[in-house]
Amino acid sequence: MSFELLLVEDDSSIRTVLQDAMQTDGHSTTVAQDGDEALAILRERRFDLLVLDIMLPGPSGLEILRSVREQDRDTPILLLTARSSESDKVLGLELGADDYVTKPFSLRELRARIKALLRRRETEVVAPTGRFSIGAIDVDLAAYELRRDGETHRVSPTEAAMLTLLYRERGRVVDRSMFLAEVWGGATIGDRTIDTHLLHLRKKLEADPKAPKHLLTVHGVGYRLVVDA
């Protein structure tokens, strides 16, 4: 199945290699070389996946990410970063990015990450049609929302996929290998990425994230969702 991708990368050599790889994989790929060009394109078109370099002339990849997520919670977004700072990666995830790779990266790894995100979109794993409750929390993942204590919290597509898995396995421990297989399609990612997404999800689920009642850590094993705390 062919998808529409937007690649935003200011390095012309990297941009050419990545565009060629994406098109070889059968995807129609539009490119932008700076933040202003990317935002102009996004005002006119929707895409199935965005690949954003963080450091760009004009608006940064993080600024583009923030702008997109104000209107669109569904489209998968993959960040490219040459920075070693954990704060940039964590901020990207907090703003709603689904995944990131750090330069230098292997082309094979990047293609696997893209494939995993598109597979989730194609099979609609990230947009389950059902609604359910976790204690007094009403969850509607088709709308990417959960409601707790009278407040509505948005969840990202990745958080929705993780919560779908946790709810299916409720009461049982979900280890990292299950998250990798079902949420990231077997792509290689660090434990930090999984833990960061779950930390953000816990903040939305729990009245007191430091004393969680529903999303529990099973140290050395994984995570467990308790529906009736």
Q: Given a cut of 90, is residue 221 above it in pLDDT?
A: no
pLDDT of residue 1: 62
| Domain boundary pick from 123, 149, 173 | 123
Average pLDDT rounded to a whole number, residues 203-222: 92
Domain count for the chain: 2
For 167-198, the pLDDT digits (tens) are: 988 888 999 888 888 888 766 676 788 888 99
Domain range holding 46?
4-123
Residues 168 and 119 in one domain: no
Q: In this prediction, what percent of the chain has a pLDDT beyond 70?
A: 91
Say which DSSP state 1 is in: -
Between 128 and 113, the more confident residue is: 113
Residues 107 and 159 in one domain: no
**Cβ–Cβ < 8 Å for 181, 169:** no
Residues 159 and 198 in one domain: yes
C-alpha distance from residue 18 to each of 9, 12, 37, 100, 163 (Å):
9, 10, 18, 15, 31
Residues 11 and 28 in one domain: yes
For 17-67, the pLDDT digits (tens) are: 999 999 999 999 999 999 999 999 999 888 999 999 999 999 999 999 999
Residues 213 and 142 in one domain: yes
C-alpha distance from residue 47 to each of 3, 90, 167, 226 (Å):
8, 24, 29, 36
For 128-140, the pLDDT digits (tens) are: 456 889 988 999 9
Question: Is the whole model's pTM more than 0.85, yes or no?
Answer: no
pLDDT of residue 84: 63
Average pLDDT rounded to a whole number, residues 205-217: 94
pLDDT of residue 124: 47
pLDDT of residue 29: 95
CATH number at residue 68: 3.40.50.2300
For 149-169, the pLDDT digits (tens) are: 899 999 888 888 899 889 988
Tokens of 122: 């194609």
Closest CA relative to residue 18, chosen from 47, 43, 53, 48: 53
pLDDT of residue 127: 40
Residues 107 and 165 in one domain: no
Q: Given a cut of 50, is residue 126 above it in pLDDT?
A: no
Q: Are strands 173-175 and 137-140 parallel, antiparallel or unpaired?
A: unpaired
**Cβ–Cβ < 8 Å for 56, 73:** no
Residues 27 and 107 in one domain: yes
Average pLDDT rounded to a whole number, residues 196-206: 92
Say which DSSP state 211 is in: S
Q: Given a cut of 50, is residue 125 above it in pLDDT?
A: no
Q: At residue 33, what is the residue type? A: Q
Three-state secondary structure call for residue 182: helix
CATH number at residue 192: 1.10.10.10
